[in-house]
Structure 1
Amino acid sequence: MATVTHLDETHQNPRRWWALGALVASMLVLGFDTTILNVALPTMAGELGATTSQQQWMADAYVIVFASLMLPAGLLGDRFGRRRMLVVGLLIFLAGSALGSLAGDVNWVIAARAAMGVGAALVMPLAMSVLPSLFGPGERTRAVGIVSAASALGLPLGPIIGGFLLNHFWWGSVFLINVPMAAIGVAACVFLLPETSDPASPKVDVLSTALTAIGLGSLVYAIIEAPDRGWGDPLVLALFTVAVVLVTALVLRERRARRPMLDMELLTHRGFLLNTLAATLVMFVLSGLLFVLPQYLQAVLGNDAFGTGLRLLPMMGGLVIAARTAQPVVARFGARAVVAAGLVVLTFAALLGSRTSVGDGYGFTALWLSIAGLGFGFSVVPSMDGALGALPADRAGSGSGLLMTTRQVGGAIGIALLGSLLAGAFRDRLDVTGLPAPLGHTAGESVVAAHLVAGQTGSAHLAASANASYVHGMGLVLMVCGVAALATALLAAALLPNAPVERRTEGNESPAVAPATADAGQ
């Protein structure tokens, strides 16, 4: 590191805790921005006339860019200065948020979310990678825990903050809230963080970055457009073909590279591969659920945005409880048993939720949401810990980068695939008999649009059909989630290694913490 000769002095600097506060603020913003848009989507769908596929793009534009650029962004920080690139990331995030708050149509919102994804891709790995320059081994575990907790705390805060803002201001406020937070982060980074770099890190591979972004974007685009155009549509088939070709080219290129940006050889470590798959599936299910649930809570059950945010808390509560207790449970029963059991619990919750009917109140939803949160926590924490624990210490950085990237990809595909399944099921089941063709088409775009058409035409039948159709589609989504979780549970129980994790990084940190402290050469 460029500042290695000054590390001892930095570790004793009392400003390091103020600097940690700046990083906490940055991670909070990224955390709640992951979920804040979910409660806003029904409102934005009504005011902007967004279809289900456009809502998917509003959510996915951020996640796709985030996933595609995280690895090269970390390398940029290594080579050109982590503080400098962290500030750049926060400024891009701020600009994207400001653009989103002023957007007047769906396309501008999608563009703003993509810009925010660029900023987030810089902030996430670099906020973690500067911690070793601020804290010595004795304090680093505590500092990493605080930053990680801030990131996790942002998830349940997102729906609550978003709901409160939507109840008191216009929908653009869910973007505007990021501006002062990001500005504070920029000022704090400039005045409090030391500059560090690692010029010896691998160079950013522009071609590999382009293959990742375009390949992933093509795959998600095809999945989102398929329900409207049909799975056999020439454009959809062409997009799937492009995705396969580009991802294959990426794998071949990275395997031949002397110092690959995306270290594919890590996937030959069985423990890393299987744990990464488990963690990615959990993100697939979690992202899909957070996409479909707010519309059910608002459009079908009739809650306002703030009430919707509050009603998502049982899942977040279960997730937090499980995440805090997972480590001692793993120590007692072993990672394989805990991951498999967590996935079985998730399976039960999803299949229970798939039995939801239009007449069920919120109590039933709260029950299976709480169980789902427990399943999420008990499966994702040990699987992430096991993934990094399966690697040699000198591969923790690249391993954590690959793990974080695949989790983001899982989230993007979850929104696209499960959202598309929901859209197709809703449209096929919706009864638009007696409506003029244009109104019938509009009603089929989303449950929010169907309720708007029902209000305009005074059709109680259409409103009831919209609710029944949406609940049916949500049930299918939950059933798919349950089947996928059960299949993964069986694979985990049969194949996951169960040996206790022996590897520790500097300062005796656990592998769950290791990715956070590793340099962003991920």
Structure 2
Amino acid sequence: MATVTPSPDPRRWWALWALVASMLTLGFDMTILNVALPTMAGELGATTGEQQWMADAYVVVFAALMLPAGLLGDRFGRRLMLVTGLGIFLAGSLVGALAGDVTWVVAARAVMGVGGALVMPLALSVLPSLFGPDERSKAIGVMSAASALGMPLGPILGGWLLDHFWWGSVFLVNVPMVGIGITACLFLLPETRDPASPKVDMVSTALTAAGLGALVHAIIEAPTRGWGDPLVAGSLAGAVALLAALVLRERRAARPMLDMELLGHRGFLVNALTATLVTFVLAGLLFLLPPYLQAVLGHDALGTGLRLLPMMGGLLVAARGAQPVVARFGPRAVVTCGLVVLAFAAFLGSRTTADSGYGFTALWLTITGIGFGFAVVPAMDGALAALPADRAGSGSGLLMTLRQVGSAIGIALLGSLLAGLYRDRLDVTALPARAADTAGESVVAAHLVAERSGMPHLAASANSAYVHGMGVVLLVCGVAALVAALLAGAFLPDTRSAPGGASGTPAMAEPEADARQ
């Protein structure tokens, strides 16, 4: 007897737009805060380290909760958890809008990280339940474009808000977007679940959060305290011990939250590591660019957002063109070439000087976006295609966890490297000790000190010191991209897309009929 193939859900394309609305909300938040950080640093008196925590509080919580979030969706319903995540994200946005100091901003960002952790992996894990292999690649492309679209719109919208309202408005803008996302999910998205998925392991979740938090804390504090400081060394040792305990616990679990078997699949592992290294580079760039554009080049917040468009435009063009290029040349060639282009852009950007002007910056930003898009879209598609259907939630959660870990370490490590280089090169010989300490906190603070004390040479020294630090960071980014290119070229499976658009990597099996509700 012939097997009857279940008919596709007629609401699947409408449901995809519900997921797009959710991803747009997170896409905005990925970049809107970066533009606001220089303004917030000036008004709240935030040091570079505190700015790193405002960015990383979200990312660390996001990464720590990604795996249990995927499992919660598998067990209790992906639509339910998506709506819950959007609601938590909304609460964190309201706290951020009303925050009066750095501590409350960091707390608000952590709450938003809880919500984001529920939204991101579940939006991805719903796709195999809605689309077959012949349509999944197109759906992933739409989702990637939605997330990417939020990135250029975030700086522009954030810049406009900062020019017309107070800095808390960059949090408040999430409210209507979240409302649209919740409404769309409730009315358009079918409920799916996998009751056989493993239970959430609270001990493993705690080990993940504590381990990542300790690691990021050590990296951020090291430039100020020194790597030999007892607090920094203790944080590093604690991070190693906690993360090692996590791995040992998960290896012994009958149904692990951190599925080590997935890391044994070459297609998933190499694609995931490639996407992680690319995210490391992008997170570092998005952290260091706004202070350069605002403090060094002298643009306002809106102008800064507009001047990030070349990178976002290159990313969108590459993301849109990645699938047909992969179909012709295979993912290994496309990902490797994208990473080489990204490395070239970083090395070119490292030649930037305080007098280069924006034209040169726009050139290497455009190349950066193109390289990023051609590298990350095929890598994400290949990793997701390697997941079996019964591990869609936990597998996509693991993938996004690795990317968020890369983002957190990128902000912490590259931001700390920049802060140390800037402080060492800044000339504060004519300043009182208190003013010198303030100027060394950030390039924005140095400009404020220079303006108040009537010392234009301090502003010039701060610009030169910041651009020098940025150049070294870009060199590190270029090396990271080249390492990723070598990794992809050597180990990435060289599969081609099928005519229908499905990935040639082992595709997710069709979901069982009773998985739909």
Q: Report the equivalent of 1:4.
A: none
Q: Report the equivalent of 1:210.
A: 206
Query: How far has the Cα of 1:199 moved from its partner?
Result: 1.9
> Aligned to 1:353, which of 320, 342, 349?
349
> Aligned to 2:234, which of 234, 238, 241?
238
Q: Report the equivalent of 2:156.
A: 160
Which aligned pairs between 1:270-285 and structure 2 lie closer than 5 A?
270-285=266-281
> Aligned to 2:72, which of 46, 68, 76?
76
TM-score (norm 1): 0.91
Q: Report the equivalent of 1:431.
A: 427
Letter in 2 for 1:316: M
Query: In the alignment, is the contact (CA less than 8 A) between 1:389 and 1:501 conserved in 2?
Result: no
Query: How far has the Cα of 1:402 moved from its partner?
Result: 1.8
SS where residue 11 of structure 1 aligns? Answer: coil
Q: Report the equivalent of 2:3.
A: none
**Structure 1 residues 305-340: Cα deviation after superposition (integer angstroms, max 9, x where no partner):** 111111111111111112222222223333222222
1: CA distance, partners of 2:452 / 2:299: 20
Matched, 1:302 2:295: no
1: CA distance, partners of 2:206 / 2:325: 42
Q: Report the equivalent of 1:253.
A: 249
Query: How far has the Cα of 1:227 moved from its partner?
Result: 0.4
Residues 267-276 or 433-442, more deviating: 267-276
Query: In the alignment, is the contact (CA less than 8 A) between 2:323 and 2:378 conserved in 1?
Result: yes
Which aligned pairs between 1:58-137 and structure 2 lie closer than 5 A?
58-130=54-126
Letter in 1 for 2:327: A
Q: Which runs of 5+ in 1 are unaligned?
A: 1-6
SS where residue 232 of structure 1 aligns? Answer: coil
Distance 1:297 1:394, change over 3 A: same
Matched, 1:176 2:172: yes
Letter in 1 for 2:172: L
Which aligned pairs between 1:349-498 and structure 2 lie closer than 5 A?
349-390=345-386, 397-498=393-494
Q: Which runs of 5+ in 2 are unaligned?
A: 1-5
TM-score (norm 2): 0.91
Distance 1:214 1:467, change over 3 A: same
Letter in 2 for 1:326: A
Query: How far has the Cα of 1:242 moved from its partner?
Result: 0.7
Distance 1:268 1:196, change over 3 A: closer
1: CA distance, partners of 2:129 / 2:379: 28
Q: Report the equivalent of 1:510.
A: 503
Query: How far has the Cα of 1:392 moved from its partner?
Result: 5.6
Matched, 1:262 2:233: no
Which aligned pairs between 1:38-49 and structure 2 lie closer than 5 A?
38-49=34-45
2: CA distance, partners of 1:83 / 1:269: 29
Letter in 2 for 1:337: A
SS where residue 70 of structure 2 aligns? Answer: helix
Distance 1:359 1:225, change over 3 A: same
Distance 1:495 1:142, change over 3 A: closer
Query: How far has the Cα of 1:384 moved from its partner?
Result: 2.4
Query: In the alignment, is the contact (CA less than 8 A) between 2:336 and 2:375 conserved in 1?
Result: yes
Query: How far has the Cα of 1:68 moved from its partner?
Result: 1.1
Query: How far has the Cα of 1:397 moved from its partner?
Result: 4.8
Query: How far has the Cα of 1:228 moved from its partner?
Result: 0.6
SS where residue 431 of structure 1 aligns? Answer: coil
The sequence identity of aligned pairs, in percent, is: 76
Query: In the alignment, is the contact (CA less than 8 A) between 1:388 and 1:511 conserved in 2?
Result: no
Residues 124-133 or 165-174, more deviating: 124-133
Q: Report the equivalent of 2:317.
A: 321
2: CA distance, partners of 1:44 / 1:391: 41
Distance 1:269 1:116, change over 3 A: same
Letter in 1 for 2:297: L
Letter in 2 for 1:11: D
Q: Report the equivalent of 1:11.
A: 9
Residues 256-265 or 291-300, more deviating: 256-265
> Aligned to 1:201, which of 179, 186, 197?
197
Distance 1:187 1:498, change over 3 A: closer
SS where residue 381 of structure 2 aligns? Answer: helix
> Aligned to 1:33, which of 4, 15, 29?
29
Distance 1:38 1:279, change over 3 A: same
Query: In the alignment, is the contact (CA less than 8 A) between 2:124 and 2:396 conserved in 1?
Result: no
What is the aligned-residue RMSD (CA, Å)? 2.7
Query: How far has the Cα of 1:143 moved from its partner?
Result: 5.2
1: CA distance, partners of 2:187 / 2:387: 36
Matched residues, number: 508
Letter in 2 for 1:344: V
Distance 1:266 1:166, change over 3 A: same
Query: In the alignment, is the contact (CA less than 8 A) between 1:266 and 1:272 conserved in 2?
Result: yes
Letter in 2 for 1:279: A
Letter in 2 for 1:63: V
